[in-house]
Chains A and B, each alone.
Chain A
Amino acid sequence: MTFAVFAFVGAAAGLLGALVGVGGGILIVPCLSLFLKVPIHQAIAASIVGVVATSTATAIRYVRDDMSNVRLGMTLETATTVGAVLGGATSAVLSREVLSAVFGVVMILVAGYMLKGRKKAGHAEEAEDPGPFGGSYHDPSLGRRVTYRVKRLGAGLTASFLAGNLSGLLGIGGGPIKVPAMTLFMGIPIKAAAATSNFMIGITACASAYVYYMKGFVAPSIAVPVALGVTAGAYGGAAVAPRISSSRLIGLFAAILGALAVQMLLAAAGIRLR
């Protein structure tokens, strides 16, 4: 029964993660630690394993379908991985309550910016020439090819560093920072941003995953069902995502961020919902 519960949590996180371009860590960690009473370090370790599984499963499809921008993703990863390593090194200084509070506030801000910039993020800023970092993909919901050019790479690198920092601190992929940064600051269409973020997330999580494994925080009886479940959920999400409109994706993403932000802030204050 416990194996099935962990697998269900992973499947739900994988499905939602694939739809909005996050690795599922923002869902897995709260569910495991708050609702299933898993020790926080084991929950984070299981989350990292799930994040890598989600990223790998969805990247297979997105890369093949030309939605992932490998060149841009790798460039942004130079900042993200450095941030992740530094984030892991500083995690011992900050308490879990402070980290949860900071993350809760950041999630609320990101949800607000996503909703505020909804019109802009919902429509691709198209260009004829993609430039050195831009890309092109076929959008089934629009029924045509979309070509975009990347703007403000510096802002994107800064946001990627911060995303990596949070990844190392909290055991997540950093997608909630990367996707808004790509859509709002860099002018990238939401579907390409989500696909590129999914491509990047696994690499970012890898930067801290081996630390947790070496520390003995990876519990196979938790991490394996989470990983198997999230892989199945991610495959389903990747198949459905191209047929869902961008506006719905953004609205769902913002709602999830808002709900989880409330939970994180309550947890930071020592208040449990159950």
Chain B
Amino acid sequence: MSVKSPVDHTLDVEVSRALQAGLAAAIALMAFGAALALSGRPVSPAATPLAALLSALKTFDATAYLSLGIIVLLATPALRVVVILVHSARRRDWKLAGVAAFVLAVLAASLLLGRAE
């Protein structure tokens, strides 16, 4: 007999699905980038800068697809927090929603910190 409430179980399912989607997209992009690299396209030592990413993707640049795969993978943890925030807000679980919002704010701050350095 489960002690966990149906609401919490639904949250677990939604988080799991978000993680699956993010991981699948990241792996697909990385695999495509690896295939381009194996076909002979060069791979840069550093990841493609965000500003140049879109144009590089259009030219099937191997580094760009590898970089985008990494970006999607690194965005997945934030995605799971967003799912928790939305779910808890929908259920009016304001304590959990507040916790999730705080964590998202800290992640956003770390991103800004990285840009400023």
Contact = CB atoms under 8 A, between A and B. Distances in A.
A60 B23 contact: yes
Contacts of A82: 106
Main secondary structure of the interface of B (DSSP, over half): helix
Interface string A44-88: 000001001101110110011010101100110110011011001
A141 interface: no
B70 to A, nearest CB: 6
Contact of A136 (B3, B71, B103): B3
A59 to B, nearest CB: 6
Interface of A: 3, 49, 52-53, 55-57, 59-60, 63-64, 66, 68, 70-71, 74-75, 77-78, 81-82, 84-85, 88-89, 130, 135-136, 145, 147, 202-203, 205-221, 223-224, 227-228, 231
19 contacts: A3-B34, A56-B19, A56-B73, A59-B80, A66-B9, A77-B99, A78-B103, A203-B107, A210-B110, A211-B114, A211-B117, A212-B114, A214-B115, A218-B47, A224-B30, A224-B33, A224-B66, A228-B27, A231-B23
B2 interface: yes
Nearest to A219: B45
A68 B19 CA distance: 14
Q: Which 10 A-B pairs have the closest CB atoms?
A: A211-B114, A136-B3, A220-B66, A214-B114, A81-B106, A202-B77, A206-B77, A203-B77, A218-B47, A207-B110
B73 A64 contact: no
Contacts of B67: 218, 220
A224 B34 contact: yes
Contacts, number: 162
B117 A215 contact: yes
Given A56-B76, A70-B15, A220-B47, A85 B103 contact: no
A274 B71 CA distance: 34
Contacts of A75: 99
Nearest to A68: B12
Interface residues of B, number: 55
Nearest to A48: B74
B44 A220 contact: yes
A220 B70 contact: yes
A52 B45 CA distance: 21
B43 interface: yes
A85 to B, nearest CB: 5
A41 to B, nearest CB: 11
Contacts of B94: none
Contacts of A221: 37, 43, 45, 66
Contacts of A227: 26, 30, 70, 73
B13 interface: yes
Contacts of A52: 73-74, 76-77
B103 A81 contact: yes
A213 B70 contact: yes
B109 A85 contact: yes
B47 A213 contact: yes
Contacts of B69: 224
A211 B11 CA distance: 30
A251 to B, nearest CB: 30
Given A220-B63, A224-B70, A215 B114 contact: yes
B12 A59 contact: no
Q: Report which residue of B20, B73, B102, B111 has the largest number of chain A beta carbons within 10 angstroms of its beta carbon.
A: B73
A215 B117 CA distance: 8
Contact of B99 (A60, A78, A209): A78
